[in-house]
Each structure stands twice: as C-alpha cells, then as structure tokens.
A and B are shown apart, each in its own frame.
Chain A
C-alpha cells in the first residue's frame, strides 16, 4: 500500500481580492521510503501543497478539498484535530526554509527537542534528555550535551537546520517534508544538509517530499519529480525521464537554465514573464503566455495529463521529442 495518496487536491484561500486557487487538482502517490521532488517557481503552490498534506492551513480563510487524501491508512480529510496532532511530529514531520525562524528564539534547543519527545513518545525528563543528546549527535552537532542549553541564536544557520532535522526525525516519522530546507543556506552548508537528510532518511526508511525551486538539487536527491506550475502538476516522472525527456514547455524552460544534471546548486528561473494570477479562472494551459514551444492546439483547449511512458506524464499539447537527449531513453 502506498504511504500517501493524493487525488485532486484543491486548496484555496478567501482573500479581499477574491478566491486564490493556490493548489488546483494535484494528484500523486508516494511509496514507503520514496524520495519525491517537488519543484517549481516561487508561488507555484509547493508550500501550500505540503501544508495541506499536514492540514496546517488555517481554515478559514483557507479551504482544503480533495477526492482522496490518505496517509498511512488514515483519511486526512476526515481525521479529527487530535488525530492530526498525533500524526504531526509523530508519523509526519516537516522542516522549513528559514532555520533562523523555525525555532522558538526564547526556548533552549534542548527544551524544543524534549517537548516533542515527551509528547509523542511519552518519554520522561531524563530519558527525553538522553534521547535529545543522541539526536543532536546523530545530526552532527558537536558537544551535544552542552548544546542542549543553548538558544537558537547561538547556532549558525546550518547548525540550526541540523537541529530542525533532529527534531523532525526525533519520533521516527514515516514521512518528512522538507520545504526549501536548504534555500537559505550557502552552497557548502546546503550540500552538507542534503547529504545528512539523504543518509538519515535512507537509514530510517523515511519517505521524503523535497521541495525546492532548484532542479539540480532535486536531481541529486530524488527518485521522482513533480514539476508544479500555477497550483497544478505540469509534469511528473522519474528524475531521468524529466531531465532527459522533458515533456512540458515549462520543464524545458526550467532545464534550459540548469544545463547539467549533476550540478547541484545551479540557479533556476529567468523564464520570461510571470506566473498567472491565481484568482482569475484558468481555461487554457496556464504556462501558455510564457511558453516557447506552444502550438495551435494550446490556444484552443486545456491539455490533459498525457502519459508519455509508464510513470512519466505531462500536461502539454506539444511534441517535445526534439528536446530529448539521445541515448537516454
């Protein structure tokens, strides 16, 4: 059984200007231990997707709907708030972009680690403390015992993100969502953190949803990638499929800016134009105004999700085989 099944997830927000359809029809499944990449420009709905999975969207003004949203056998749409609380931090955990702000500035690191351990694993003071030290050692923080009494501002950005990882993995979750977890860090530290997550989640058998706007980084880490645009999945497939046989105009644009698959940290963006306003209804391919490979059909109908080969699909009318690299089928 898949660990996570998402079918037609729709998350919208009521705002003064109108309803923002931040996520509009996202479907995917995630197997136990799988590492899935979620890429796309800023504003494409990656964070809202992940917050919806953990039901962390405030309702109202938000509203989460889906045909199916099942995690580890639990229907997340019907789950009570107390069921969600025990899942969060227990079976599903999340780390955020800004390690400067995702730790409470006025509590010691030890307090923040043991709080979660006590809650989910019902450890008492001493046991929680011992486990916290183990966890800090596990993520490579020197002098872990002493560091329990330190406050977040006494750590560097990279160290803080290690602490966040320690907290997120403390109760051995089945799923870890990393939302731009290395974006705020400089390149060397970024690589260290990626390695750490890779090693720990492999050892623990944790499934990962790695969110990034950096395709290169995702390529080095994930089995599969979902490319998101305007709150939808534009293309989905294995890392090899998406990189060597990109089948959506948007993916082609993204890869155009990331010349080599093995280069971690290459900057993305700079496809001309801006993403669409998510308040206006979308009737044609949302990428059309910016697309370099659009054909006549694109001006007439909304493309459906086309299967290119098993496990590889894209929501695009155009035939992009000219962009496919030779010998990489």
Chain B
C-alpha cells in the first residue's frame, strides 16, 4: 500500500509550510549548529574588518620601538611586534586584506571556472576539447609559481595578487565542474526536462548547475583557505601587501623570525587564520548539505523504504 504509506509520511511533516526551495535550504542551513557558528564567526570578522577604525585599540602601523615585542597585557591584549605595533589592531585591519582576498579570489575563480566547466561539459565536442586544452595548460604549472609569474607580469600589488590567485584556482574549478556536468548531463532527469521542452540555458542553469552546486561549494571553501594562505606567501615574497600594511598572512610570515622570543606574535595570526578557515569550512559543509535535499532528514528515507 504505497499510497497509504505516503500519506502517513506527509502527515508527519507538520513543518512543511509552503515555501520555496531556497527558503527550505536556508532553514536547513540554520538547523546545522556548526554552520551557524561558522556563519556567526565570519559575520563578526567581516564586521570587524568594516568597522576597523572604530574598534581598533591602537594604530596598526604606528611604530613605537620603545614598546617592541611586548607580551600580551592590559594595554596590548595580544602583545606587540618587533616595531612595537599592536597585534590586535593589526589583526583587525589585516582582516580587511585577508577576507577580501579570500572572497574576491573565489568570486573570481567562480565566475571564470564555472562557466568554462559547465559549457565544456554540457556542450562537449570541439568547444570542450579547446577549453580543456587551455585549462590543462594552466594546470601543468605549480600553482604558487604560476601566481608569482602572473603577479610579476602585472606588478606587485594586492589587486594583482587576487587576480593571480583567481587565475590559478579557476582551472581546478573548471575541471571539477566539467566532470560533474558530464555526469549530470547523462542523468535521466536531464533528458526528461529536455523532453519537456526546456531550453539549453534553462537546463544548464536550472538543472545541471543546481545539481553540481555541492561540489562547487566544497571546492570554493578550499579555494578561500588556499587564497588566504597564498596571499601570505606572496606578501612574504614582497609581491602582495606592501609593508607596513597589515595582513594576516604577512604578519604570520614575519612572526616566524620571533617564534621563540615572542610566540604570541606567531600564534595570533595563525589561530585567526585557522578560525576563519574552519568557519568557512563549516559553512561550506552546511551549504553542501542544505543544497542537497536528499541529505536533509534521514528519518524520512527510513520511512520511505518501508513504503516501497
């Protein structure tokens, strides 16, 4: 009695008020505690970055050699660096650089990699061959080396670092999206929507892309973390953030020299980067699950097996 079982099934779902798919997904995301915490932490970091001049206890670039390498205290909550600059203030201002690098890099690689991957996978044929040859050419270089080369070409500047990191990440994303699209293209539901008269654009955006969103989100969270860390490396090489401007990565790189004398100098940006990366991974995991209705409530699947 499949029909009766299905009726009972839907009686239980009293929380199924009329809602769009997006609303349902958002509700699902908020039900995930790790994702909610991650989201809250990221929001705080973004707010801190925006309101940095208002909340910073000190000037992040003012040198005060009399106060150099001070351990954490009531005045300098997380101590000072070798120029006597307040670590807390540098972290708050550094969030501006690091978070924008992370966000803009994934935005850039998304808008470059996803269309290439989807087109390549869905259209196939000669377009696919051409695009993938290009993508593979980029993938043969070690990522950091490629980024260095691009920044070297464009000039050492934080905007160019973002462009370079985006260019480095886009091919990876394109490859992934292409593979997922190829798989989705062969699904019966894609043939079914074609049989219902959907246009190619509609199929790609509304059905294929919607189904490959989960792997994209996961890849983007990885990309964000990689961008924050790579910015550090490039800045360390003098290609990114120019001194005395603070950035988490730059400060971390400089702090390495004082690891034994002033461990707080090293720990503060490390933990901050870790916290940001962890938060974005939590949000990413939550998003991945929220975007896939099949993973929402396992209780229903169990009920449904009895029903078939």
> Is B7 within 8 A of A143, CB to CB?
yes
User: In whole angstroms, how far apart are the Cα atoms of A106 and B197 in the complex?
Assistant: 19
A-B contact count (CB 8 A): 128
Asked whether B206 is an interface residue with its Cβ less than 8 Å from the other chain, the reply is: yes
Asked whether B164 is an interface residue with its Cβ less than 8 Å from the other chain, the reply is: no
Contacts of A141 in B (CB 8 A): 6
Contacts of B2 in A (CB 8 A): 156-159, 189
> Is B294 within 8 A of A146, CB to CB?
no
> Is A149 within 8 A of B16, CB to CB?
yes
Which of A51, A85, A101, A156 meets B304, CB within 8 Å? A156
**Contacts A86-B197, A120-B197, A156-B308 given; does A104 touch B6 at CB 8 Å:** no
Contacts of B210 in A (CB 8 A): 104, 106-107
User: In whole angstroms, how far apart are the Cα atoms of A107 and B292 in the complex?
Assistant: 9
Contacts of B6 in A (CB 8 A): 141-142, 155-156, 159
Stretch binding the partner chain, chosen from B60-68, B170-178, B187-195, B238-246: B187-195
Instruction: Name the CB-closest residue of B to A86.
Output: B197
**Contacts A96-B191, A108-B21, A150-B16 given; does A115 touch B206 at CB 8 Å:** yes
CB distance from A130 to the nearest CB of B (A): 13
Asked whether A102 is an interface residue with its Cβ less than 8 Å from the other chain, the reply is: yes
Among B6, B13, B21, B291: residue with most chain A CB under 10 A: B6
Q: A-B pairs with the 3 shortest C-beta distances?
A: A89-B196, A89-B197, A88-B197
Asked whether B58 is an interface residue with its Cβ less than 8 Å from the other chain, the reply is: no
Contacts of B194 in A (CB 8 A): 56, 88
Q: Mark B283-306, 1 if CB is under 8 A from A, else 0.
A: 000000001111010001100100
Asked whether B46 is an interface residue with its Cβ less than 8 Å from the other chain, the reply is: no
Asked whether B140 is an interface residue with its Cβ less than 8 Å from the other chain, the reply is: no
Contacts of A159 in B (CB 8 A): 2-3, 6
> Is B191 within 8 A of A104, CB to CB?
no
Instruction: Name the CB-closest residue of B to A88.
Output: B197
Task: Please name 7 pairs of A and B residues whose Cβ atoms are closer than 8 Å in the assembled complex, sorted by A.
Answer: A107-B206, A142-B7, A146-B13, A150-B13, A153-B301, A156-B2, A189-B2
Contacts of B16 in A (CB 8 A): 146, 149-150
Contacts of B195 in A (CB 8 A): 54, 56, 88-89, 93-94
- For B, the interface residue count at a CB cutoff of 8 angstroms equals 43
Instruction: Name the CB-closest residue of B to A159.
Output: B6
Asked whether B142 is an interface residue with its Cβ less than 8 Å from the other chain, the reply is: no
> Is A96 within 8 A of B188, CB to CB?
yes
Which of A54, A90, A151 meets B293, CB within 8 Å? A151
Contacts of A281 in B (CB 8 A): none
CB distance from A88 to the nearest CB of B (A): 4
> Is A153 within 8 A of B192, CB to CB?
no
> Is B198 within 8 A of A106, CB to CB?
no
Asked whether A73 is an interface residue with its Cβ less than 8 Å from the other chain, the reply is: no
> Is B197 within 8 A of A154, CB to CB?
no
Q: Which positions in B face A, CB cutoff 8 Å?
A: 2-3, 5-7, 9-11, 13, 16-19, 21, 24, 125, 187-189, 191-199, 206-207, 210-211, 213, 291-294, 296, 300-301, 304, 307-308
**Contacts A106-B210, A154-B304 given; does A60 touch B125 at CB 8 Å:** yes
User: In whole angstroms, how far apart are the Cα atoms of A87 and B197 in the complex?
Assistant: 7
Instruction: Name the CB-closest residue of A to B200.
Output: A81
> Is B24 within 8 A of A149, CB to CB?
yes
Q: Which positions in A face B, CB cutoff 8 Å?
A: 51, 54, 56, 60, 84-90, 93-94, 96-98, 101-108, 111, 115-116, 119-120, 140-143, 145-151, 153-159, 164, 167-168, 189
> Is B19 within 8 A of A106, CB to CB?
no
Contacts of A164 in B (CB 8 A): 192
> Is B293 within 8 A of A146, CB to CB?
no
> Is A90 within 8 A of B7, CB to CB?
no
> Is B188 within 8 A of A148, CB to CB?
no
Contacts of A56 in B (CB 8 A): 191, 194-195
> Is B10 within 8 A of A151, CB to CB?
no
Contacts of A157 in B (CB 8 A): 2, 308
User: In whole angstroms, how far apart are the Cα atoms of A50 and B194 in the complex?
Assistant: 14
Contacts of A150 in B (CB 8 A): 10, 13, 16
Which of A86, A96, A106, A151 meets B211, CB within 8 Å? A106
> Is A102 within 8 A of B192, CB to CB?
yes
User: In whole angstroms, how far apart are the Cα atoms of A104 and B11 in the complex?
Assistant: 23
> Is B21 within 8 A of A104, CB to CB?
no
**Contacts A88-B195, A104-B211, A105-B211 given; does A156 touch B188 at CB 8 Å:** no
> Is B189 within 8 A of A153, CB to CB?
no
User: In whole angstroms, how far apart are the Cα atoms of A51 and B199 in the complex?
Assistant: 17
Which of A88, A111, A142 meets B196, CB within 8 Å? A88
User: In whole angstroms, how far apart are the Cα atoms of A103 and B189 in the complex?
Assistant: 5
Contacts of B9 in A (CB 8 A): 154
> Is B189 within 8 A of A149, CB to CB?
no
Contacts of B10 in A (CB 8 A): 142-143, 146-147, 150, 154
User: In whole angstroms, how far apart are the Cα atoms of A148 and B20 in the complex?
Assistant: 10
CB distance from B88 to the nearest CB of A (A): 43
User: In whole angstroms, how far apart are the Cα atoms of A102 and B187 in the complex?
Assistant: 8
